[in-house]
Structure 1
């Protein structure tokens, strides 16, 4: 992070995309705040004040710019925050801003007191958790007003305001205009009534084709489809009222705008914040590619082109789904694992009507697995899953359901990976792989992996582990680069 106002202003003048989302600029002459990449007329330095978060700028009375749209700014990765607790709390607030959960409850989920959370959060982000939450809701609502044809009441509820009156009051107080007035000032594209389309920003460059190729090779038939340069999947998520909402999502790439285009069925409106958070995780939108490359470019001394700037670590949309597929893939080919996962979905997944060819089922939940009568081998065996892996999947489902393993509120991924290895059938490779993709662990390294060894032959596993020490804390990105090189 640049540490002086002069350096920040220079980055603002340069429209340097590496700093997009890492600070915001309040402009006193207009009363608005912008992203550092904003293409509006450049303000004078004396009129600029710099803020670490959009919430901090709004706390000072600034309104979001209608041109650069601060709600599209990419977030920061888990290693960027000096306080992991504050960082994780911010992610939860973003994901659950539509649910009306209290700060006390979020603190409880993170295993601390609300007083401690407020203190740590305010020190890290310069605003209270409540102020940050309100900005999340306002920016989500602004995005919906700008990019969709949803009525204002639906937007108010989806953004977590609870009532239209409260939404109007808060919106007018902070942005000095009503939601309908904002909509009149923006020109939205025509959208189908049963679809919602969003844009999610990232820091360029982004190796989109490599990401799609990775996901396509591991797509589960019935749940996921990759075609025509887009990723599509079914969704089945629990909303704030404890009810499930089902539908589909489609994710494409708009490189000229440095955004991913996200389209989803309108049936998913009640779980919209959850979906956006999961897509950011799946496509690694918090990544700062220049920071990663600065450390990993030494890989190109081994072989030119081994590390490509802009390579992302594929995350996951459904942690249990990804973990099960990882277990199924032990000691067999990627294609064979996909076949077994597809059989499991066809037999035990929940049918979903999407109207999209190839999207027919939601992946079975941990509760679905535990509800099966009799020994689990009797159910999975006929599908081609051996007994040891069947029991591993069942135990994984049990531990997740009982809260012994947590893919959601983890603060120490390494501790969760140790818990995973206590399950018979899950060793270091599987735990590291799950940590890398489900828990945003940027420093996983699979020195015994066949692909990693092939990419760096003739080195031994011991030699690879020693070599990779210089790649910390980005060894997950090194692993993906090695796989992509094949």
Structure 2
């Protein structure tokens, strides 16, 4: 929890300050509900308030979620916010896999520890067990789906990871003192009749949406990504718990009045909706605490006013292999030329799907798709305009991901994985840092040799730039994005 006493937390709650949203929750004794710090309901007396670091902790204390501020929409915390990095990664993995049925032993194994150790440190940090935290993730996802979509109660239960409709109904009534159908009757807002699923995901303001959208638009891969009408659209290929391939699309828009993004997911992706939402949170940096980052990086404005802007986000990736291939293709050529090459790769080796959205025609080829091509790989990629050295690098990356010798997931240690990347011919420091920055949420990457960075900080030399950037730890990735945006 924040380093504030109860009086300080109550003051933050009273101020309705969005900077604290998701950092703590308030249990209200007189009503039996818990709220976000930004809740607009009538302010309770301080003596009726208790404070919790997570929604799960509030629910274990016997409180049910507020129907007005909707705790399920609160933004999460970035990795650097957590006292224990291991615990934070575990919490994020529980959110992402709440619909998969993954057990604690498997989770602990992926994190490189025993389930006993994970339970101990998790409970010490969050005051609830991993199982209790997982249960709250499922309940809040189900509440979000019940409130904002027309999905049947059965579909909601299955999508949120409950093994049966009966168990879902029992737990929902036990924790929220309301049946799933009863909640729907109480929510007066009419939902559009559509087979697609639209949900909101919260963030902490400020949020430079236009700058982030412009960054993605410049690097969009033809056939896979489209930016139009102020929204981001892309195709999706994911596997469910039975390793069945699912295809569809997702769109992301901005809801500035709600400090949230609007996410629409095609119906075919319903079984993997927790995965989709987790990837959107990563791609659009929804765990970011912009105030904390600006406190460190505002010294950039001593170099030139406006060089650092509050609310700058770090663009992540939806598909790690897609991003690393795009990074390799972008070496020593223009961004536009790299997008053209990526589009040719998709059109030739990607899987064609029907989305009903102009410009969205294919999913990006997987590592398996690339490895199925007979060697030499340059004989397949060369005709597309991809030079032999980059074709071999792409093939080596596909093999490393397929063999799991390189990991771009949440459990990965960026510095360890960057060393592995540097062992692959064709990958230098710039590419390794850029990949870590965008696929592994590495907040401290810095590209001092990058043309854009050098241009933004002219007339400083590369050595001087590296020395200046020492003041920007641990947010040098955000400093890099600010420098690019300044151009």
The question of whether the paired residues in 2 share the 8 Å contact of 1:52 and 1:125 is answered with yes
1:108 maps onto 2:104 in alignment: no
> Aligned residue for 2:301?
300
> Hey, what's the Cα distance between the residues in 2 that align with 1:431 and 1:76?
25
> Aligned residue for 1:212?
213
Please state how far the C-alpha of 1:410 moved relative to its aligned partner.
2.8
> Hey, what's the Cα distance between the residues in 1 that align with 2:258 and 2:325?
35
> Hey, what's the Cα distance between the residues in 2 that align with 1:432 and 1:191?
43
Please state how far the C-alpha of 1:189 moved relative to its aligned partner.
3.1
1:255 maps onto 2:253 in alignment: no
Off by >2 Å, runs of 4+ in structure 1: 187-193
> Aligned residue for 2:266?
265
> Hey, what's the Cα distance between the residues in 1 that align with 2:187 and 2:403?
47
> Hey, what's the Cα distance between the residues in 2 that align with 1:374 and 1:314?
34
1:44 maps onto 2:45 in alignment: yes
The question of whether the paired residues in 2 share the 8 Å contact of 1:109 and 1:409 is answered with no
1:5 maps onto 2:3 in alignment: no
> Hey, what's the Cα distance between the residues in 2 that align with 1:188 and 1:71?
17
Please state how far the C-alpha of 1:407 moved relative to its aligned partner.
1.0
Please state how far the C-alpha of 1:322 moved relative to its aligned partner.
0.4
User: CA offsets, 1:110-137, max 9 Å, x none?
Assistant: 1111111111111111111100000000
> Aligned residue for 1:187?
188
1:133-144 correspondence to structure 2 within 5 Å: 133-144=134-145
Change (3 A) 1:411 1:390: closer
The question of whether the paired residues in 2 share the 8 Å contact of 1:283 and 1:315 is answered with yes
> Hey, what's the Cα distance between the residues in 2 that align with 1:237 and 1:448?
35
> Hey, what's the Cα distance between the residues in 2 that align with 1:342 and 1:475?
31
Please state how far the C-alpha of 1:288 moved relative to its aligned partner.
0.5
Please state how far the C-alpha of 1:412 moved relative to its aligned partner.
1.8
Please state how far the C-alpha of 1:411 moved relative to its aligned partner.
4.1
> Aligned residue for 1:361?
362
> Aligned residue for 1:389?
390
The question of whether the paired residues in 2 share the 8 Å contact of 1:17 and 1:204 is answered with yes
> Aligned residue for 1:25?
26
> Aligned residue for 2:121?
120
> Hey, what's the Cα distance between the residues in 2 that align with 1:378 and 1:411?
33
> Aligned residue for 1:74?
75
> Hey, what's the Cα distance between the residues in 1 that align with 2:411 and 2:454?
30
Please state how far the C-alpha of 1:458 moved relative to its aligned partner.
1.0
> Aligned residue for 1:229?
230
Unaligned runs of 5+ in 2: none
The question of whether the paired residues in 2 share the 8 Å contact of 1:85 and 1:411 is answered with no
> Hey, what's the Cα distance between the residues in 2 that align with 1:431 and 1:403?
17
1:379 maps onto 2:380 in alignment: yes
TM-score scaled by length of structure 2: 0.99
Helix, strand or coil at the partner of 1:399: helix
The question of whether the paired residues in 1 share the 8 Å contact of 2:253 and 2:262 is answered with yes
Please state how far the C-alpha of 1:480 moved relative to its aligned partner.
0.1
> Hey, what's the Cα distance between the residues in 1 that align with 2:321 and 2:193?
32
> Hey, what's the Cα distance between the residues in 2 that align with 1:289 and 1:369?
39
User: CA offsets, 1:221-262, max 9 Å, x none?
Assistant: 000000111000000100112101111111000101100000
> Aligned residue for 2:431?
430
> Aligned residue for 2:198?
197
Q: More deviation in 401-410 or 176-185?
A: 401-410
> Hey, what's the Cα distance between the residues in 2 that align with 1:53 and 1:147?
23
The question of whether the paired residues in 1 share the 8 Å contact of 2:410 and 2:440 is answered with no
| Number of residues of Structure 1 aligned to a counterpart in Structure 2 | 486
The question of whether the paired residues in 2 share the 8 Å contact of 1:410 and 1:416 is answered with no
> Hey, what's the Cα distance between the residues in 1 that align with 2:309 and 2:378?
43
The question of whether the paired residues in 2 share the 8 Å contact of 1:239 and 1:271 is answered with yes
Helix, strand or coil at the partner of 1:79: helix
> Hey, what's the Cα distance between the residues in 2 that align with 1:82 and 1:247?
37
1:343 maps onto 2:348 in alignment: no
> Hey, what's the Cα distance between the residues in 2 that align with 1:111 and 1:192?
45
> Hey, what's the Cα distance between the residues in 2 that align with 1:183 and 1:2?
38
Q: CA RMSD in A?
A: 0.8
Please state how far the C-alpha of 1:192 moved relative to its aligned partner.
3.4
TM-score scaled by length of structure 1: 0.99
> Hey, what's the Cα distance between the residues in 1 that align with 2:21 and 2:190?
25
> Hey, what's the Cα distance between the residues in 1 that align with 2:44 and 2:410?
41
The question of whether the paired residues in 2 share the 8 Å contact of 1:110 and 1:409 is answered with no
Please state how far the C-alpha of 1:156 moved relative to its aligned partner.
0.3
> Hey, what's the Cα distance between the residues in 2 that align with 1:278 and 1:13?
33
Unaligned runs of 5+ in 1: none
Please state how far the C-alpha of 1:336 moved relative to its aligned partner.
0.5
> Hey, what's the Cα distance between the residues in 1 that align with 2:297 and 2:234?
32
The question of whether the paired residues in 1 share the 8 Å contact of 2:146 and 2:183 is answered with yes
> Hey, what's the Cα distance between the residues in 2 that align with 1:303 and 1:270?
49
> Aligned residue for 1:278?
279
The question of whether the paired residues in 2 share the 8 Å contact of 1:2 and 1:8 is answered with no
Please state how far the C-alpha of 1:409 moved relative to its aligned partner.
4.0
Helix, strand or coil at the partner of 2:227: strand
